[in-house]
Amino acid sequence: MRKLFQFLARYSTFGLFLVLGTIAFALFVNNNRYPQSVFFSSSNYLVSYLYQVSSSVTGFFNLRPENDRLLVQNVELKNRIAVLENRLALFEELNKQEFPDYVFAERDFRFIPARVTQNSTGMTHNFITLNKGRRDGVRAGMGVVNAEGVVGIVTIVSNRFSTAISVLNPMSQISSKIARNNQVGPLVWDGLDYRYALLTDIPRHIELQVGDLIVTSGLTPTFPAGVPIGVIDSFSIGDGDAFHTVRVRLAVNFRTISSASVFYFKNYDELRELNP
């Protein structure tokens, strides 16, 4: 308290100057129209600027909820598209049959939206953790994708979380095909570059082109057919080799992935029993 009084006594003259200066400025502005208009124009500009800054800060902190809302909305639209595509495919197959009353197996699927809570790209064996688990319908063996393409395959599931083996893992093998000619082969990662993987078991007589689209084959219950994986970046074959060495540039940027979706087939458990 003593130091406070000493401080006030030391700067009392300057404080009195500020008070009198403020009063004089207020009287000057209130009694003269031009300074008054300049002052209020400047104050309005300052208030507007502060309001704009405040709105920008508030908008920044509201981005996360907005992104989550857009993610859910995007997944809902994907689910509607998936239903319509399945129905269209069913009608097309029915039209090709001599017996239109033939009953096809149910193939419907939907998407389970998820947020990536943990991800690695610099390890030899990389994994991705999602904030959706058993209570949300996630099961081991289900495929994980995002807006760009294939991300990985779920391996471990708890009640609220799940871990997926990333495409960037030598233990991961994605059943793939070349979209142009439907040639099937497994996609594996060689552990060298997070941007590329290898498409294997492509016979030497198959014609390849740089830029060929690689998609999921649909031959396993993990992914439906046609999900983008990447494009052929380069390929080569030795004189005595039976298969091409095909380098695929992955569609997904694993360094920036923040959200994903899990494919949920309606009859997934039954399909897994038939295709362990």
CB under 8 Å, gap of 24 or more: what pairs does 201-206 form? 201/243, 202/178, 202/243, 202/244, 202/246, 203/242, 203/243, 203/244, 204/237, 204/241, 204/242, 204/243, 204/244, 206/178, 206/181, 206/244
In this structure, are residues 250 and 242 in contact, taking their beta carbons and an 8 Å threshold?
Answer: no
Alpha carbons within 13 angstroms on the beta-carbon side of residue 25 total 8
What is the rounded distance in angstroms from the CA atom of residue 124 to the CA atom of residue 268? 30
Report the SS3 class of residue 83.
Answer: helix
Closest CA to 105 of 222, 263, 274: 274
The CATH T-level fold of domain 111-274 is Thrombin, subunit H (2.40.10)
Residue position matching structure tokens 């990662």: 189
Strand 184-188 and strand 150-157: the pairing is unpaired
User: In tens digits, what is the pLDDT along the chain, a chain of 276 residues?
Assistant: 566 556 556 656 666 656 666 665 555 545 555 454 444 445 544 555 555 555 555 555 555 666 666 676 676 676 667 656 655 654 454 344 443 333 334 446 778 888 999 999 989 899 999 999 999 989 898 999 988 889 999 999 999 999 999 999 999 999 999 999 999 999 999 999 999 999 999 998 989 999 999 999 988 878 888 889 999 999 988 888 888 889 999 999 999 998 888 988 776 667 667 665
pLDDT score of 18:
64
Residues 6+ apart with CB under 8 A from 102: 94
The structure's pTM equals 0.63
CA 233, 245, 256 angle in degrees (round to 5)? 40
CA–CA gap between residue 156 and residue 133 (Å, rounded): 9
Length of the chain: 276
Q: Give how far Cα 79 sits from Cα of 67, 91, 167, 206, 262, Å.
A: 18, 19, 24, 35, 11
Structure tokens at 223: 């992914």
- Cα 27-32-35 angle, rounded to 5 deg: 95
Q: Give the pLDDT score at 167.
A: 95
Radius of gyration over every alpha carbon of the chain, rounded to an integer in angstroms: 31
d(CA 21, CA 15): 10
* Tokens representing residue 129 in the block: 């953790």
For the record, the structure tokens of 151 come out as 């991300």
Sign of CA dihedral 15, 21, 25, 27: positive
Residues of the chain with CATH 2.40.10.340: 111-274
Number of Cβ within 10 Å of residue 234's Cβ equals 12
And the tokens for 210? 């740089």
